[in-house]
Chain A
Amino acid sequence: MNAATRAATAYCLTRGHTPIALHNGFPGLARHYKDEESSVRVIKWLDAENWASKGGSEIGTNRATPSEDFDGVSDALTYHKIDALFVVGGFEAFTAVSELRKARRDFDAFKIPIVVLPATVSNNVPGTEYSIGSDTCLNALIDYCDAIKQSAAASRRRVFVVETQGGASGYIATIAGLSIGAVAVYTPEEGIHLKMIASDIEHLKEQFAKDKGQNRSGKIILRNEKASKTYTTEIIANIIREESGGKFDSRFAVPGHVQQGGIPSPMDRVRAVRFGVKSMQHIESFIGKSKDEIANDPLSCSVIGITGAKVQFSGMEKVEKEETDWKDRRPKNEFWMDLVQIVDTLSGRPRPKKEDAIAAGLPA
């Protein structure tokens, strides 16, 4: 997040715009814009200069969205003569920008160019296949899993069930699964059912039976935090241990917020810079246009992201209506769903049967 803010700030200064930080999200803006220690502050270059490699967000963030106080947000933007808005954040930021777009009917202050740059470890923002922060999260997770795998290999015949973050999106679990060679990946999209667990235990039994004491025998199952309400990470580990017939052991592990923190990975940093600059250039393209011209241009409120082989801006309205699963807070078509099969193929895991999933009332 900081790398993006820094890049946008630098770009503004280079071109002669005034970069203004809205501290602590929309509530900060609405409540404290007139305070002496205002939440609306011009960013000086020296402040932002050393943000390139910092984790977290230096200007603070807040999950609340503008609809809680449209009037306050509108007043604040008008009071400070804000000409454009660049929002960096996850699904809440996406929701916030969507709300602002819809409220343009009633508030002229929102008829300004708005870009949202998806930044969340969960990578669940519609309109992009990649969010800033997700790469850092993946690296933290694979380091954690590597360490656990080593321990599992040392004590032989042990399966770790590791709980990953990601909200209702199995992206992190799946890509981490590809990166560490997980035995199986449990995602919210696919869900978990008893026959799936049973089949995976069978598979583990076969694997351990074949083991002739070679190196690197640690095994990991990755389970997304919301993959199932009933089959929690701990319960799955217990079931596996119980059913192993004493042939192998099973433990669970929850890395938790290790996945959120730390120094951002270089990929997240360079992409933040690139997308930050691109967003500013996009905003610049609206210079000289009237409020209504802006409001009538679908791209005046957009999300920047990667889709397939392209980096592009997508109009919010279209993304909101066609590409967003609002209930589960994730994109409708998640590009990585096909990759789950690759994890299975490469670990030799038999694909869970569709009819079993349907019988268990899951979407399959």
Chain B
Amino acid sequence: MAQVNLAPPAMPEGKKRIAVMTSGGDSQGMSGAVRAVVRQTIASGCDAFAVYEGYEGLVQGGDMIKQMKWEDVRGWLSEGGTLIGTARCMAFKERPGRLQAAKNMIDKGIDALVVCGGDGSLTGADRFRGEWPSLVEELVKNGTFKEDQVKPFKHLNIVGLVGSIDNDLAGTDATIGCYSSLQRICQAVDYIDATAFSHQRAFVIEVMGRHCGWLALMAGVSTGADFVFLPENPPSEHWETEMCDVVQRHRKLGKRKTIVIVAEGAHDRQLNAISPNQVKDLLAGKLGLDTRVTTLGHVQRGGTAVAYDRMLATLQGVEAVKAVLDSTPETPSPVICIVENKIVRKSLMEAVKLTQSVAEAIERKDFKSAMKLRGAEFDEYWTAYSTTVSTDKEELLLPKEKVRFLSETL
């Protein structure tokens, strides 16, 4: 005979047991988000839980789903990465794994889950929510729980927080971790700058970001790099000549150093990958520059979060708990976003869909749409970058009658 589990009694009206989980690649600020969710949950009179090691912990249950007390998250804002761990989980991709996860959650009486992760992790969470009623039904059918035990667990609330260094989710201006990662990159480039200047060298720097060029573009803008390669907006068909021309012009102006930033997902307009070594060979071969490649790698995920990410993690964590308490079975799962300076809730699946449409546009070589889909801010930064990096492009000059020339002024 199947053992009948005893789920804890339902919480009083309006109160919930809220679990928080970090999933996917780690990012700076995730620990701060967990702290905010746990404390806001407790401050709202609810019980807080942490799921350790991402979806793996959800499937394994037991001690991997732990009730969190106020003091358990003390000082977490100043910690990098995620202190509750994250892991890849194959089991959760299959229904039996998700069935087990549902059972583990009901065992602990959890009826809401805040997931902090990238678009893949958030999609998984929303699918889990959609499947939830049928999972619960199956758990009753196979005798794990009795009908009246699952009554308080008819619906699962999911709220998404975007934790990622890539800043690749559409709908939010920043993901938790992206500005910390950008800080690591800029710091590295600033260091490299000094030696590049000393030796008149060229440096090709590869930065992370998967299909998203945000880190590469922002690094280009903030360091005044000579050229950037983005997946969304590849250079022209003749990018080899284009890049060499730009670099040569800058050298002729008197620049002693050259910095080229290559996003890890960079490619040409035919989607052939552009590697840092290819760029290096061009700079060295065609222009005769002493060129080095620096791949920043996991340094970009490292260290503690910058102020902005801590603030974002905190405010979004608080908002996530409020969203859980506001949600009804009818509301679509929200994802907490930031638009300029405003924390907002958006539909999780719409944000994910929009994000995927960027990848699809790139796949179709429709780069115009890809740029547009990345959002107005991204496009604005691109314009800002391209108008400030090359001060000698004929086509960008205003007609003569609209400007006052140097000779007239002085």
Chain A interface (Cβ < 8 Å from any Cβ of B) = 3, 6-7, 10-11, 13-18, 20, 42, 45-46, 49-50, 52-53, 80-81, 83, 129-130, 135, 138-139, 141-142, 146, 149, 153, 175-176, 178-181, 210-211, 214-218, 263, 265-267, 269-270, 273-274, 276-278, 284, 287-288, 306-311, 335, 339, 342, 345-346, 348
The answer to whether B241 has its CB under 8 Å from any CB of chain A is no
B157-184 interface bits toward A, Cβ cutoff 8 Å, 1 = contact, 0 = none: 0000000000000000000000100110
Q: Which chain B residues lie closer than 8 Å to A267 at the CB level?
A: 179, 182, 306, 308
In this complex, which of A3, A10, A81, A267 has the most chain B Cβ atoms within 10 angstroms of its Cβ?
A267
How far apart are the CA atoms of A138 and B307 in the complex, in Å? 6
Q: Which chain A residues lie closer than 8 Å to B390 at the CB level?
A: 14
How far apart are the CA atoms of A180 and B77 in the complex, in Å? 6
Pairwise interchain contact A80-B77, C-beta atoms closer than 8 A: no
Q: Which chain B residues lie closer than 8 Å to A18 at the CB level?
A: 403-406, 409
Q: Which chain A residues lie closer than 8 Å to B389 at the CB level?
A: 10
Q: Which chain B residues lie closer than 8 Å to A266 at the CB level?
A: 179, 182-183, 185-186, 218-219, 222
Pairwise interchain contact A277-B387, C-beta atoms closer than 8 A: yes
B337-357 interface bits toward A, Cβ cutoff 8 Å, 1 = contact, 0 = none: 001111010000000000000
Pairwise interchain contact A345-B39, C-beta atoms closer than 8 A: yes
B314-334 interface bits toward A, Cβ cutoff 8 Å, 1 = contact, 0 = none: 110010000000000000000
The answer to whether B393 has its CB under 8 Å from any CB of chain A is yes
The answer to whether B4 has its CB under 8 Å from any CB of chain A is no
Closest Cβ–Cβ distance, residue B214 to chain A (whole Å): 10
How far apart are the CA atoms of A257 and B35 in the complex, in Å? 31
Given A10-B387, A20-B409, A269-B186: A175 touches B307 (CB 8 Å cut-off): yes
Q: Give 12 pairs: A residue, B residue, CB < 8 Å, sorted on A.
A: A14-B390, A14-B392, A139-B307, A181-B35, A181-B74, A217-B74, A265-B306, A269-B186, A274-B221, A306-B341, A345-B40, A345-B43
Q: Which chain A residues lie closer than 8 Å to B406 at the CB level?
A: 18, 42
Given A14-B387, A52-B222, A149-B75: A80 touches B340 (CB 8 Å cut-off): no
The answer to whether B367 has its CB under 8 Å from any CB of chain A is no
Among residues 123 to 145 in chain B, which have CB atoms less than 8 Å away from a CB atom of chain A? none
Pairwise interchain contact B308-A135, C-beta atoms closer than 8 A: yes
Q: Which chain B residues lie closer than 8 Å to A7 at the CB level?
A: 384, 388
Pairwise interchain contact B314-A215, C-beta atoms closer than 8 A: no
Secondary structure of the B contact surface, majority rule: helix
The answer to whether B108 has its CB under 8 Å from any CB of chain A is no
Secondary structure of the A contact surface, majority rule: helix
Pairwise interchain contact A16-B310, C-beta atoms closer than 8 A: no
B410: which of A80, A180, A288 is its contact (CB, 8 Å)?
A: A80
Pairwise interchain contact A53-B396, C-beta atoms closer than 8 A: no
The answer to whether B110 has its CB under 8 Å from any CB of chain A is no
How far apart are the CA atoms of A180 and B74 in the complex, in Å? 10
The answer to whether B239 has its CB under 8 Å from any CB of chain A is no
B388: which of A10, A42, A153, A311 is its contact (CB, 8 Å)?
A: A10
Q: Which chain B residues lie closer than 8 Å to A345 at the CB level?
A: 39-40, 43, 318
Among residues 370 to 392 in chain B, which have CB atoms less than 8 Å away from a CB atom of chain A? 380-381, 383-385, 387-392
Pairwise interchain contact A277-B75, C-beta atoms closer than 8 A: no
The answer to whether B408 has its CB under 8 Å from any CB of chain A is yes
Pairwise interchain contact A306-B340, C-beta atoms closer than 8 A: yes
In this complex, which of A14, A45, A129, A339 has the most chain B Cβ atoms within 10 angstroms of its Cβ?
A14
Given A6-B388, A266-B222: A14 touches B396 (CB 8 Å cut-off): yes
Count B interface residues, CB 8 Å: 66
Q: Which chain B residues lie closer than 8 Å to A49 at the CB level?
A: 224, 253, 255
Pairwise interchain contact B388-A273, C-beta atoms closer than 8 A: yes
Given A178-B315, A274-B380: A308 touches B403 (CB 8 Å cut-off): no
How far apart are the CA atoms of A282 and B10 in the complex, in Å? 58
Pairwise interchain contact B310-A277, C-beta atoms closer than 8 A: no
How far apart are the CA atoms of A282 and B386 in the complex, in Å? 18
Given A81-B409, A146-B78: A346 touches B39 (CB 8 Å cut-off): yes
The answer to whether B87 has its CB under 8 Å from any CB of chain A is no
Pairwise interchain contact B398-A15, C-beta atoms closer than 8 A: yes
Pairwise interchain contact B222-A269, C-beta atoms closer than 8 A: yes
Closest Cβ–Cβ distance, residue A83 to chain B (whole Å): 6
The residue of chain B having its C-beta at the shortest distance from the C-beta of A272 within the complex is B222
The residue of chain A having its C-beta at the shortest distance from the C-beta of B39 within the complex is A346
The residue of chain A having its C-beta at the shortest distance from the C-beta of B256 within the complex is A50
Q: Which chain A residues lie closer than 8 Å to B396 at the CB level?
A: 14-15
The residue of chain A having its C-beta at the shortest distance from the C-beta of B386 within the complex is A14
Pairwise interchain contact B310-A15, C-beta atoms closer than 8 A: no
How far apart are the CA atoms of A53 and B259 in the complex, in Å? 14
Q: Which chain B residues lie closer than 8 Å to A149 at the CB level?
A: 75, 78
Pairwise interchain contact A83-B341, C-beta atoms closer than 8 A: no
Q: Which chain B residues lie closer than 8 Å to A273 at the CB level?
A: 221-222, 381, 384-385, 388
Given A16-B398, A52-B223, A135-B308: A179 touches B314 (CB 8 Å cut-off): yes
Given A146-B78, A348-B70: A309 touches B344 (CB 8 Å cut-off): yes
Given A6-B388, A46-B254: A53 touches B190 (CB 8 Å cut-off): yes
How far apart are the CA atoms of A16 and B76 in the complex, in Å? 51
Pairwise interchain contact A216-B75, C-beta atoms closer than 8 A: yes
B307: which of A53, A135, A311 is its contact (CB, 8 Å)?
A: A135
